[in-house]
Chains A and B, each alone.
Chain A
Amino acid sequence: MASVSDAELKEMTQDERARALGMTTEQLTGQSMYIEFDPDATDRFTYPWAPEVDFNKRTEIDTDTMTSTEVNSKIRALMAEGYGTIVLKNPRGKHSLGVGILSRLNLIIEGSTGYFGVGLIDGPNVRISGRVGWSCAENMMSGTVMIEKNAGSTFGAAMRGGDLVCRGSVGSRTGIDQKGGTIIVGGDTGALSGFMMQRGRMVVCGNAGKNLGDSMYDGTIYVGGEIKSLGVDAVTAELTELDKAWLTRKLTQYGLMPDKGVDHFTKIVAGKQLWNYDNLEPNEKKLIL
């Protein structure tokens, strides 16, 4: 990849910047993304225009009478001033709080958020003391999000990276279309969790609803409790020592390690009969499934 300095990138239009970073339509199709990935390009894992923030510089926003747009604009303005720890008070179920934060930040939300909370984030560490509504941390790229109470449906939908943790129970379709990262649920999850999952890991310490892992392409789901039913092409797999070591590390890290350890977890993976891009005809597939 051609070397472009941050200063040069800042001057470019969005289109020029995308091309300079190698993101052209042709190159993003098919397998070319692997060719474009340069393992030595370690210096650009954050956005060149990300503000320099100081985590010890802390401030609070009382969001009671503000709209979500005003709150999100205020967060950006405070980050530009160098605030690295921002506390949102009285969110009272507002939608779309803390979305699109693309750099390091400690965001503490004291209360509950509505739909699409902290969606499209890349980097921040978020703590939420209440419950979150539908589609929390949708399309999350990196960072950590920790929720102390329950979460709604489509938790971590299309997530790509980072750790998304809910201590309570979550709704249905958790991690639908998950493409990476880790989702950890302390309680139960609803129906169709892990639907069309492509990569990443999901850990459910409690029970899982029906059709778990339906039509999953890849990725791994670990369930500590009962599974109501597995979805199409989701199969149980052997829980290896590596799985146990990983589970122990992650669950200990977030204080969710069960008293009886991790040996009882069930591991679910894709059977790869349905979406294995083989040459089978649809009626032949029916015979297999």
Chain B
Amino acid sequence: MCGIAGLIHKGKSSNVGAEMTSMLQALKHRGPDSTGYAVYGEPTEGDYVMRLKVAEAEDMGRGRGIHKVITDRISAVEDILSEFGAQVKSRDSVTEYALRYVLTHDGETADMAKNIEEIEGVEILSLGNGLELIKDLGDASVVAAQYGLNDFKGTHGIGHTRMATESDVDIRSAHPYWAFPYNDVSVVHNGQITNYWIMRREMERKGHRFMSNCDSELLAVYTAHNLANGVSLEDSLRRSIEEIDGVFTYLVATKDQLGMAKDTMAAKPLVLYESDDLIAMASEEVAIRAILPQEIDTTDPYDEEVRVWQA
């Protein structure tokens, strides 16, 4: 089933971390397996936030050897960072397997990201100037508390509560997906993509990498491919309705935009609230009501509807 949520404040920062937690907690019944956030703070040029995982949560219970493996992987990551001229300003690790780096870098980050991911067991969850992408097993209150998300200030964000149907319960298959290696772009999806393998092979032929067998990852790769070829976010969303089969509603966030697309069957829900300074959307109204308890007007977007909002 899965639950998705998104919100964007126009022209100002707010407590998007806490707001997203409230929304996702209200959607817990749509998927309790894992919870993910992609929240966007004020972008700082030259400073990059990189979140990565060096092991899966389930690996931690597989004996003492994993600690040595993790230390080796982190050291390999840092070797590559220095090789590509990235200065590590800070390194935090909320769990032993999930790390957050703040880097200073002045060049292209795509090659660096590709090299880092060549290390076995290492996956970059996100890289960008404003994006913080966090995903782990458990509901929103657990993940938010673990990663200190409730104090996060920012302009917009998307989130996801996952009910695993197509692939495993692990961080690799959790949403949001970062549109590797495209900085600051993230995707959450509710639905099922039926031409996944055809589209995946096409994307792989074009040189894109897939880290999981989760069909939602395709939307992130597909969006990254379009954006890298100069297609606007709105056009990419429109094109996806033509090219991707299945039932889906998905949200894409970039450094300063939030977009939505609904498939031709309109089979996956989304409720939308729009005002002059805040736009909020979620799989169910109960999530919007979690942050806006007053009487408001909400609508259901129709089939093939595409919308993009600017922060």
Q: Do A and B bind each other?
A: yes
Contact pick for B285, options A133, A153, A170, A172, CB 8 Å: A133
Q: What string of 1s and 0s marks CB contacts (under 8 Å) between B274-307 and chain A? A: 0000000000111111100101011110110000
Q: Please indicate the chain A residues that have their CB under 8 angstroms from the CB of B302 in the complex.
A: 171-172, 190-191, 209
**Beta-carbon contact of B266 and A93 below 8 Å:** no
Answer yes or no: A82 CB below 8 A from chain B CBs.
no
Answer yes or no: A131 CB below 8 A from chain B CBs.
yes
How many residues of A sit at the interface, in one of the four size bands?
A: 20 to 34
Interface residues of A in 174-213 (CB under 8 A from B): 190-192, 209-210
Complex-state Cα separation, A152 to B289, whole angstroms: 16
Nearest opposing residue in chain A for B269, CB measure:
A134
Q: Please indicate the chain B residues that have their CB under 8 angstroms from the CB of A210 in the complex.
A: 303
**Beta-carbon contact of A111 and B295 below 8 Å:** yes
**Beta-carbon contact of B284 and A114 below 8 Å:** yes
Number of A-B contacts (CB under 8 A): 73
Q: Please indicate the chain A residues that have their CB under 8 angstroms from the CB of B290 in the complex.
A: 92
Q: Please indicate the chain A residues that have their CB under 8 angstroms from the CB of B285 in the complex.
A: 93, 112, 114, 131, 133
Answer yes or no: A139 CB below 8 A from chain B CBs.
no
Q: Please indicate the chain A residues that have their CB under 8 angstroms from the CB of B286 in the complex.
A: 92-95, 114
Complex-state Cα separation, A133 to B265, whole angstroms: 17
- Known contacts A115-B284, A190-B302; is-contact A153 B269 (Cβ 8 Å): yes
**Beta-carbon contact of B300 and A191 below 8 Å:** no
Q: What string of 1s and 0s marks CB contacts (under 8 Å) between A3-42 and chain B? A: 0000000000000000000000000000000000000000
Nearest opposing residue in chain B for A131, CB measure:
B298
Interface of chain B, main secondary structure: loop
How many residues of B sit at the interface, in one of the four size bands?
A: 20 to 34
**Beta-carbon contact of A130 and B295 below 8 Å:** yes
Q: Please indicate the chain A residues that have their CB under 8 angstroms from the CB of B169 in the complex.
A: none
**Beta-carbon contact of A190 and B284 below 8 Å:** no
Complex-state Cα separation, A106 to B288, whole angstroms: 28
Answer yes or no: A250 CB below 8 A from chain B CBs.
no
Answer yes or no: A150 CB below 8 A from chain B CBs.
yes
Contact pick for B303, options A95, A129, A150, A191, CB 8 Å: A191
Answer yes or no: B271 CB below 8 A from chain A CBs.
yes
Nearest CB of chain B from residue A229's CB, rounded to whole Å: 12
Q: List 14 A-B contacts (CB under 8 A).
A: A90-B293, A112-B285, A131-B285, A149-B298, A150-B300, A153-B269, A169-B299, A171-B302, A172-B266, A190-B302, A191-B265, A191-B302, A191-B303, A209-B303
Which of A's residues lie within 8 Å of B, judged by CB? 90, 92-95, 111-112, 114-115, 129-131, 133-134, 149-153, 169-173, 190-192, 209-210
* Known interface pairs A93-B285, A149-B297, A190-B300; 19 further A-B residue pairs with C-beta atoms within 8 A, sorted by A's residue number: A90-B293, A93-B286, A93-B289, A95-B284, A112-B298, A114-B285, A129-B295, A131-B299, A133-B269, A133-B285, A150-B299, A150-B300, A151-B300, A169-B299, A171-B300, A172-B267, A190-B303, A191-B266, A191-B303
